[in-house]
Amino acid sequence: MTQRGTLGVAVVGTGRMGADHVRRIDRVIPGARVAAVADVDAGRAAAVAAGVDGCSVHTDPAAAMAAPGVDAVVVASPGPAHEAALLTALEYGLPVLCEKPLTPDAAAALRVVRAEERLGRRLVQVGFMRRYDAEYLGLKALLDEGGLGRPLMLHHRHRNAASPPGFTDAMLVEDSVVHEVDVTRWLLGQEVAAVTVLRPRASGNAPEGLADPQFVVFETDGGALADVEVYLNCRFGYQVQAEAVCESGTARIGDAHGMLLNTAGRWGGRVAAGFEERFEDAYDRQVRAWVDATRRGEVTGPSCWDGYAAAAVCEAGVRAQVGGGRVEVALADRPALYA
């Protein structure tokens, strides 16, 4: 570690999320600095690094990870590029915060799990940032405390104003619903055992080739059900809600972002514009927790196993999208490292 214990971070992928993480590490989070960035688009990497003191610019992720002053890595390239970056970071023995998904497919995720297992210690935290959101944390604490009885069902809503260009049906599961896979496993402490995907008539706002919205149902190994309405072109903003239905009560989060207002004969609140606004605090808390743990020599937060288990559920979800019906999730045995 450099500069009196300051963590030097290489950020791989300097697009929407990567650039935001560079800003966060450079200006918001104490104890860390951006030592290097890498992007296959050299111009984008250079633009993001401009104004960041002592930050080297690379097009090759491995070169950024080997650059002077780098102690740890944030991976924010697209999901299909994560496996290569993660295997390099593990080979170099560098702690990693990897944006979700760990990898889009289960086989690649399992290869990363096996590589970490061979090292015999955890180095990877997966960026399932909802686990750091105050509302989700409140819901988790309430369910764990048990006052409402056992949770029986979860209702999730995941709405984006517009999907990015080129978004596919598979990405709707692997990039978007993967969040609900993780929070379902985390809130209930159960694995998702089977997935069914239903599709209503597509919205006129959906781009050509994307069936949007979709309705996904998870059955867990503990006998609970969770449903996800995922609607990526709802136009009105970014909205993520969750309701737990328990034996003697229900609890719901995500109804309003910020203040509720009564005015001019109307009642209501604001809908966030995008995930950066809705989850700003969660991203900050996640990166702060990762930096703090890494400086202590620890690895905390969602693990490679969580990333693999989510990828296995998503793979079942994509098979359910293609073939229809109920698809069971195939999960490898959980290694002792993630007990």
Residues interacting with ligand ISE, by CB under 6 A?
160, 175-176, 179, 232, 275
Report helix, strand or coil for 38.
strand
For residue 176, the partner it binds in ligand ISE, ligand NAI, none, with Cβ less than 5 to 8 A by kind, is ligand ISE
> Closest distance between ligand NAI and the C-beta of residue 267, in Å?
29
Distance (Å, rounded) from C-alpha 288 to C-alpha 85? 22
Beta carbon nearer to ligand ISE, 95 or 213:
213
79 binds ligand NAI (CB under 6 A): yes
Nearest by Cα to 123 from 311, 307, 284: 307
> Closest distance between ligand ISE and the C-beta of residue 210, in Å?
12
38 binds ligand NAI (CB under 6 A): yes
Which of 175, 180, 182, 306 touches ligand NAI (CB under 6 A)? 175
* Minimal CB distance residue for ligand ISE: 176
Beta carbon nearer to ligand ISE, 95 or 101:
101
Residues whose CB is less than 8 angstroms from the CB of residue 238 and which lie 6 or more positions away in sequence, other chains included: 159, 160, 161, 271, 272, 273, 274, 275, 277, 278
Residues whose CB is less than 8 angstroms from the CB of residue 9 and which lie 6 or more positions away in sequence, other chains included: 25, 32, 33, 34, 35, 70, 71, 72, 73, 74, 291
Residues in region 117-146 near ligand NAI by CB under 6 A = 127, 129
77 binds ligand NAI (CB under 6 A): yes
Tokens (6 digits) for 17 = 């999320």
302 binds ligand NAI (CB under 6 A): no
Beta carbon nearer to ligand ISE, 247 or 255:
255
Which of 44, 111, 199, 295 touches ligand NAI (CB under 6 A)? 44
User: What are the DSSP calls for 220-273, one per residue?
Assistant: ETTS-EEEEEEETT-SS-BEEEEEEEETTEEEEE-S-EEEEEEETTEEEEE-BS
Distance (Å, rounded) from C-alpha 100 to C-alpha 94? 18
Binding mask 260-279 vs ligand NAI (x if CB under 6 A, - otherwise)? ---------------x---x
> Closest distance between ligand NAI and the C-beta of residue 144, in Å?
24
Which of 15, 31, 54, 237 touches ligand NAI (CB under 6 A)? 15
For residue 136, the partner it binds in ligand NAI, ligand ISE, none, with Cβ less than 5 to 8 A by kind, is none
Residue 167 exposure: Cα atoms within 13 Å on the Cβ side: 20
Beta carbon nearer to ligand ISE, 243 or 277:
277
> 185-200 burial string, b = 16+ CB within 10 Å, else e?
bbbbebbbbbbbbeee
Tokens (6 digits) for 275 = 């995930």
12 binds ligand NAI (CB under 6 A): yes
> Closest distance between ligand ISE and the C-beta of residue 333, in Å?
29
> Closest distance between ligand NAI and the C-beta of residue 81, in Å?
4
Beta carbon nearer to ligand NAI, 127 or 301:
127
| Strand residues in the chain grouped as ranges (E) | 7-12, 32-38, 56-58, 72-75, 96-99, 124-127, 151-159, 192-198, 214-220, 225-231, 239-246, 249-253, 257-263, 266-270, 326-328
For residue 41, the partner it binds in ligand NAI, ligand ISE, none, with Cβ less than 5 to 8 A by kind, is ligand NAI
Residue type, 67: A
The length of the chain is 339
> Using CB under 6 A as the criterion, which residues of the chain lie in contact with ligand NAI when the complex forms?
12-18, 38-41, 44, 61, 76-79, 81, 99-100, 127, 129, 175, 275, 279
